[in-house]
Structure 1
Amino acid sequence: MVPTSLTMKIRNDTFLQFDSGPRDHRLIIFSSPEQLKILKETEEILIDGTFKVTPVIFTQLYTIPGVYQNCVFPLVFALLSDKQQ
């Protein structure tokens, strides 16, 4: 499991939104309450999956940026442990 000290942002907002736990098909999702609010109001959602940029126990970093007020903001970050290219 992720230590509690690593699940919060500087302003004590929850940043860790989901952790499937230590198993073969692990998924961890990060996003702040502010980012989730923007996600609900975004005009367009983009998706990017990137391999080989993650810690050893993961295989893919999945990011979800969104277009909000004509700017692109990174909104959700997910680490996947059992994703194939």
Structure 2
Amino acid sequence: MKKTLNGSNFLIKNSTIGCDRILIFTIVENLKQLEISLFWIMDEMFKTVPTIFKQLYTIHGCVRNENLCIMPLIYVLMTSKSEQCYRTNEEFSLLIRLIPALAFLPFNEISSVFNELKENMTVKANEIMNWFENYYVYRII
């Protein structure tokens, strides 16, 4: 599951935070689609995941084919239910949930708001913040 059939990277992040593991799956083309999508839809699923994981989080975007359709573009598998994690650190939860909201800011404000979020994050979030910084905030696709 690390590569697509044509050899593109599919597993783009394999992160461990404490005892929790996060796997992020997508391809560059999906990130491009997300960048131009009119809107994003995020969804959490707890019952339809492999037994070693507790949660599947998906980010969907509006994709233009012959028609407009909503497609899942990023898949995130987590070994803990975020609800349990969020109860232990509500401030961390709030900050993490603000990251996808960057997509709704004017382009010229994204960098400064992201930097402000990053300054307020705990060290535990460095890996995920670096990923967003490299693949979303400062990367031109």
TM-score, normalized by length of structure 2? 0.52
Instruction: Give the match for residue 73 of structure 2.
Output: 75
Larger radius of gyration: 2
Check conservation: 1:27, 1:79, Cα contact below 8 A: yes
Partner AA of 2:60 in structure 1: P
How many residues in Structure 1 have an aligned counterpart in Structure 2?
Answer: 80
Tell me the amino acid that sits aligned with residue 42 of structure 1.
S
- SS where residue 38 of structure 1 aligns? helix
After superposition, the C-alpha distances for 1:40-71 in whole angstroms (9 at most, x for unaligned) are 11110001100021112210111111113322
- Aligned residue runs from structure 1 range 14-53, under 5 A: 14-21=9-16, 24-53=19-48
TM-score by length of 1: 0.83
Identity of aligned residues (%): 35
Amino acid at match of 1:79: L
More strand per residue: 1 or 2?
Answer: 1
1:10-56 deviation line (CA, Å, top 9, x unaligned): 11011011001496211000001111110111110001100021112
User: Alpha carbon RMSD of aligned pairs, Å?
Assistant: 1.8
> Runs of 5+ in structure 1 lacking a partner?
1-5
Q: Where does structure 2 lack aligned partners over 5 or more consecutive residues? A: 85-141
SS of residue paired to 1:47: strand
SS at match of 1:7: coil
Moved over 4 A (4+): none
Secondary structure at the aligned position of 1:76 is classed as: strand
Secondary structure at the residue paired with 2:20? Answer: coil
